[in-house]
Amino acid sequence: MRVTSKLLALGTLLAFGAPAFADDSVKFGTNWLAEAEHGGFYQAVADGTYKKYGLDVTIVQGGPQAANEALLISGKIDFYMGGQFSLYDDIKQGIPVINVAAMFQKDPQILMTHKGVGMDTFADIAKADTIFMGKDIFVTDFVWMKANFKGFRDEQYKPYTFNPAPFIADKMSAQQGYVTSEPLAVKNASGEDPNVFLFADNGYAPYSTTIETTTKLVKDNPDLVQRFVDASIIGWYNYLYGDNKAANDLIKKDNPEMTDDQIAFSIQQLKDHGILVSGDAETKGIGCMTDERQK
């Protein structure tokens, strides 16, 4: 399910610019507190790309107490930053939502292990006494792990509380995380560079950081949807490969706990691991989805 019939090639967008439109007010809800993983959207605000496409975009932060997906469904926001398989659950419940782009070809979710303890491949993690992970990982990624690798068992599960200390203390444990975040937290706390294994590089590869909206908005105002997708794509290219200082300033304004070191680390990981530019995106561009992979 894609809004592709009018999607212009990025080169055409950059060469000829966006057509003029009256500004439309748009609210976009993220899935967490402001961070580099949201950088392309902040970039499009900061450098005026959304404005060029006739959009007055407000970014509504996610976070532990936020309910941005519910705000989308209730019509309080226009777009939501989805991820993994949340859309499928909504469709099962008859909720009329749709993904119109996928900014991340690879989900940044990882498992980490300690070096030198015999867990140097993804399959080796089955040897772990404990795997610290959230409930969402336990009911999705871990189900896939048990079905595709030998030795994984429910008894390994312990809740991940966003504190790396239990993992650091237990050399025979593994821990979930984002490739853009937790490895740096472990390094800063212990001096250790852990082994890092992307689920996406080991066979579990859903799209991530999708742009989710309602089927009603696509039907009633496909032009607005198209402009938001197009401008967001350009925002991501500019954020990764252009001057992103203004975007990072906006990120730090929304999330004062965000540091320059964390942002720089995250951007480098996004590039090094092909989170946005890999696979189909190498030829079709950032944001692309294919029916074949979705199925």
pLDDT at site 227: 98
Give the chain's domains with CATH numbers. Answer: 10-106+206-294 (3.40.190.10), 109-202 (3.40.190.10)
pLDDT in tens, 110-130: 999 999 999 999 999 999 999
Name residues whose C-beta falls within 8 Å of residue 10's C-beta, 6 or more positions apart in sequence: 233, 234, 237, 285, 286
pLDDT in tens, 224-242: 999 999 999 999 999 999 9
At residue 210, φ and ψ (nearest 5 deg) are -85, 160
Closest CA relative to residue 80, chosen from 108, 59, 64: 59
Q: What is the residue-averaged pLDDT of the chain? A: 91
pLDDT category, 2, cuts 50, 70, 90? very low
pLDDT category, 80, cuts 50, 70, 90? very high
**pLDDT at residue 51 above 50?**
yes
Query: CA-CA distance, 19 to 231, in Å (whole number)?
Result: 12
**pLDDT at residue 262 above 70?**
yes
pLDDT in tens, 132-170: 999 989 999 999 999 999 999 999 999 999 999 999 999
Report CA-CA distances (Å) from 56 to 59, 148, 157, 207, 247.
10, 46, 44, 27, 16
- Assign 225 to helix, strand or coil: helix
